[in-house]
Amino acid sequence: MAARPTPTLFTRGLSGLSQSTDADAVASPAEKRDDAKRNFLKTMRPLPTQHYWDVYFDRQSKDGGAGRKDDQQQGQEYNVQLEKLGTQIESVQDFWRYNNNTPVDQIRMRESIYLFKQGFRPIWEDRRNISGGSWTFRVPKAVGPDVWTRIQLLAIGEKFESVLDREDQLCGVGLSVRFNSHNITIWHRDASKQKSIDGILECVLEELPPELTPKPDTYFYKKHSDHAGFKAPPELQAVLDSQKRAAEREAALKAAKDEGGAQ
């Protein structure tokens, strides 16, 4: 008598039984499709920035975002001219949406645009800026838009923040249109931190490609309080005076120490 055939289970389209512990080896086609879908959706999610950012537009600035007259009403006038554009930037996608729809070549003479951390405003006398300063880079208009985009990316990517003194903060970056150049500024909160000042410059020179690197005679650093148009609110002037006296004492002690060491 012939042996009866052993019954088999029809398993077309199903994963074979396996002793493997590898998830990919034992996953069914449906499970693999679900995984692929999840991975696709993950790549589509906005990549958040570490901080929220605001975009400001200044229609009549005269000096890198804060050149104003020396009268008591000027601060109020400047606040009126300073407009916040659109919604805050919370992701890399938000940044590119704003940047791609804000052509720098359409910004007129003496106008400025700023990308600042939420809570900071591009005003020298702002409470969070009053003790700070900024680097200014005079960039030819032919390459201004490219340099501006890269500087903004260094800001939202926390590259500038990483080179600052740990007690300092980046405030934001700005671009002002002049007759034959774009003045690009990088603001930080504490002008007494030499590590921050040096770090910002080194970061710009190292991160920009050779064709966009500014020449040595086209950039400078300046404290906000050293600008001719700077006028601190009365309630903050005492803070500045105290900081100035502390800096003078520190300089005097250093000079005395150096003199003693030379003897």
Q: Tell me whether strands 181-188 and 48-58 are parallel, antiparallel or unpaired.
A: unpaired
Residue 95 CA, chain-centre distance (Å), reads 11
Strand ranges (E), 33-81: 48-58
Which residue, 201, 89, 110, is CA-closest to 153? Answer: 89
Please give the structure tokens belonging to residue 133.
Answer: 């300063």
Q: Residue 229's pLDDT is what?
A: 80
CA-based angle 41:45:47, to the nearest 5? 145
**Inter-residue contact 154 to 172 (CB < 8 Å):** no
**Backbone torsions φ then ψ of 257, nearest 5 degrees:** -65, -45
Distances (CA, A) of 36 to 31, 76, 114, 146: 9, 55, 40, 36
Helix (H, G, I), strand (E, B), or coil: what is residue 89?
strand
User: Helix (H, G, I), strand (E, B), or coil: what is residue 122?
Assistant: coil
Q: What does DSSP say about strands 133-140 and 112-117: parallel, antiparallel, or unpaired?
A: unpaired
Length of the chain: 263
Whether the Cβ atoms of residue 55 and residue 98 lie closer than 8 Å to each other? yes
Q: How do strand 170-177 and strand 48-58 relate by DSSP bridges? A: unpaired
Give residue limits of the domains in the chain: 48-230
Which amino acid does the sequence have at 39?
N
Contact criterion met (CB below 8 Å) for 61 and 110: yes
Burial of 90 per CB tally in 10 Å (0-12, 13-18, 19+): middle
Q: In what side-by-side order are the strands of the sheet with 82-91?
A: 82-91, 48-58, 112-117, 170-177, 181-188, 133-140, 219-223
The reported pLDDT for the residue numbered 15 is: 47
Please say whether the dihedral angle defined by the alpha carbons of residues 98, 104, 109 and 113, taken in this order, is positive or negative. positive
**120 close to 53: Cβ distance less than 8 angstroms:** no
**pLDDT in the model for residue 191:** 94
Q: What is the mean pLDDT of each run of 10 residues along the chain (263 residues)?
A: 56 48 61 66 76 92 45 51 91 96 91 96 90 96 97 98 96 96 97 96 97 96 88 68 72 75 65
Residue labelled with tokens 């520190």: 250
Cα of first residue to Cα of last residue in the chain, in angstroms, is 118
For residue 112, how far is the Cα from the chain centroid? 16
* Model-wide pTM > 0.75: no
| CATH T-level fold of 48-230 | RNA Cap, Translation Initiation Factor Eif4e (3.30.760)
So what's the pLDDT on residue 258? Answer: 75
Phi, psi of 52 (to 5 degrees): -85, 145
